[in-house]
Amino acid sequence: MKQKIQEKFKSLFATEGTLYMSSGRINLIGEHTDYNGGYVFPGAINFGIMAAIEPNGTDKVKVFSIDFDEYVEFGLREEDKPAQQWARYIFGVCRETIKRGGKVKGFNAVFAGDVPLGAGLSSSAALESVFAFAINEINGNGIEKFELAKIGQSTEHNYCGVKCGIMDQFASIFGKEGSLMRLNCKTGEYKYFPFHPKGYKLVLLDTCVKHELASSAYNKRRESCEKAAAAIKKNHPEVDFLSDAKRVWLDEVRDQISQEDFLRAEYVIGEVQRVLDVCDALERDDYETVGEMMYQTHFGLSRLYEVSCEELDFLNKLARKCDVTGSRVMGGGFGGCTINLVKDELYDAFIKTATEKFTEKFGHAPKIYNVVISDGARKL
């Protein structure tokens, strides 16, 4: 990838750009907690986007995407928004930097990546982050890292039509090899935890399906959470988000909310606690407990929050059968990947069985991504 980028940069611009890199991410645990003011627990991974970049002394951005085999040029004013989707991420990052008082001079860039697109590993955050980080450096803006993550998030909101939380960009910017990060979505506080699963592999199985329910179901889940939190708040005024509530406080309002809202809230309150339990377990190097929590999360997402689907439940069950230590759906649900923590010696048998059985049932094989927790945005 590096050589391809450098060669292309040279052939297009006759010079050598500076290389930057940023990463996709996984989330070990903490799902549907972000909009409930709870914790997420992501880490950057060994799949990323690399860019060569150099100021060009003009007021234009000239950028080539190796993966789309496409060259785009755009100016830096709001009305210069490019037509190509991929270029809008870069344009958005430039605009959001300018909105924050940063300088953005024209530049040349060539980039490529290996984060699978739309698989739930956040290739878009990797793209935003590598440019947010590089543009900040080459212009000497000195914007702090959390704000760089917000530049990526605002790019999604304002230039790509995706109303996402901060987790993906946060993970991509702050990621560190061998560390997961517990982010408090209410306060923005974060803490690194060691993640060295010696003797285990972390592997994602991509169902390659996306069921259409996803966005309407998402809005309904949010409404349920808000209703439950509002009911609890009547007794406990300090509760602004479900994550502020104790489990017993939910029981107090059982008769005041629907059975459905109750189950949704039960999942969220449980999940917030599970993140804390996993952090404790990691500090003891106790990966068996980590795995058990992952299964509990899957159960909650499938049966209480009801955002799983047949393909995901199938892979989760299969993981149990193959003695995989931990397994759960990762991301919003209704498709995408399961994330699995599996002992080295069981890995081959698990992948073989999962591939065969899944193909037998659904007519196509799941895609396999072996992930390692790696560094986020950086200069190479």
**How is residue 176 written in tokens?**
């560190």
- Could you tell which of ligand ADP, Mg ion, none binds residue 38, using a CB distance below 5 to 8 A set by kind? none
Q: Are the C-beta atoms of 112 and 49 separated by less than 8 Å?
A: yes
- Could you tell which of Mg ion, ligand ADP, none binds residue 49, using a CB distance below 5 to 8 A set by kind? ligand ADP
Contacts of 85 (CB under 8 A, 6+ apart): 160
- Could you tell which of ligand ADP, Mg ion, none binds residue 349, using a CB distance below 5 to 8 A set by kind? none
DSSP 8-state code for residue 243: G
- Could you tell which of Mg ion, ligand ADP, none binds residue 330, using a CB distance below 5 to 8 A set by kind? none
Residues in 283-312 that interact with ligand ADP by CB under 6 A: none
Q: Are the C-beta atoms of 330 and 339 separated by less than 8 Å?
A: yes
Measured CA to CA, the distance from residue 235 to residue 36 in angstroms comes to 18
Does 49 sit near ligand ADP (CB under 6 A)?
Answer: yes
Residues in 167-226 that interact with ligand ADP by CB under 6 A: none
Q: How many residues bind ligand ADP (CB under 6 A)?
A: 19
Does 117 sit near ligand ADP (CB under 6 A)?
Answer: yes
Sign, CA torsion 62/66/71/72: negative
**Coil, strand or helix at 76:** coil
Q: Min. distance of Cβ 115 from ligand ADP in angstroms? A: 6
Cα–Cα nearest to 287, from 180, 132, 139, 171: 180
Q: Which region, judged by CB under 5 A, interacts with Mg ion, from 20-28, 91-99, 117-125, 216-224?
A: 117-125
Site string for ligand ADP, 76-95 (x = CB under 6 A): ---------xx--x------
**How is residue 11 written in tokens?**
């052939």
Q: Are the C-beta atoms of 214 and 334 separated by less than 8 Å?
A: yes
Q: Min. distance of Cβ 168 from Mg ion in angstroms? A: 6
Minimum CB distance to ligand ADP smaller for 161 or for 237? 161
**Coil, strand or helix at 301:** helix
Q: Which residue is nearest to Mg ion (CB)?
A: 124
Query: Which residue matches tokens 């190796």?
Result: 66
**b/e sequence 35-45, b meaning 16+ C-beta within 10 Å:** bbbbbbbbbbb
Interface pick for ligand ADP out of 92, 120, 175, 326 (rule CB under 6 A): 120
Does 124 sit near ligand ADP (CB under 6 A)?
Answer: yes
CB count, 10 Å around CB of 12? 17
The single-letter code of the amino acid at 217 is A
Interface pick for Mg ion out of 124, 153, 224, 340 (rule CB under 5 A): 124
> Which residues carry out catalysis?
168
Q: How many residues bind Mg ion (CB under 5 A)?
A: 2
**How is residue 59 written in tokens?**
């007021």
First to last CA, the chain: 13
Q: Min. distance of Cβ 162 from ligand ADP in angstroms? A: 6
Interface pick for ligand ADP out of 23, 97, 122, 154 (rule CB under 6 A): 122
Does 71 sit near ligand ADP (CB under 6 A)?
Answer: no
Q: Which region, judged by CB under 6 A, interacts with ligand ADP, from 110-118, 172-180, 285-293, 297-305?
A: 110-118
**b/e sequence 269-304, b meaning 16+ C-beta within 10 Å:** bbbbbbbbebbebbeeeebebbbbbbbbbbbbbbeb
DSSP 8-state code for residue 303: I
Interface pick for ligand ADP out of 123, 207, 302, 374 (rule CB under 6 A): 123
Q: Which region, judged by CB under 6 A, interacts with ligand ADP, from 62-70, 236-244, 246-254, 296-304?
A: 62-70
Q: Min. distance of Cβ 128 from ligand ADP in angstroms? A: 9
Contact positions toward ligand ADP, by CB under 6 A? Answer: 49, 65, 67-68, 85-86, 89, 112-113, 115, 117-124, 127
Q: Which residues bind Mg ion (CB under 5 A)?
A: 122, 124
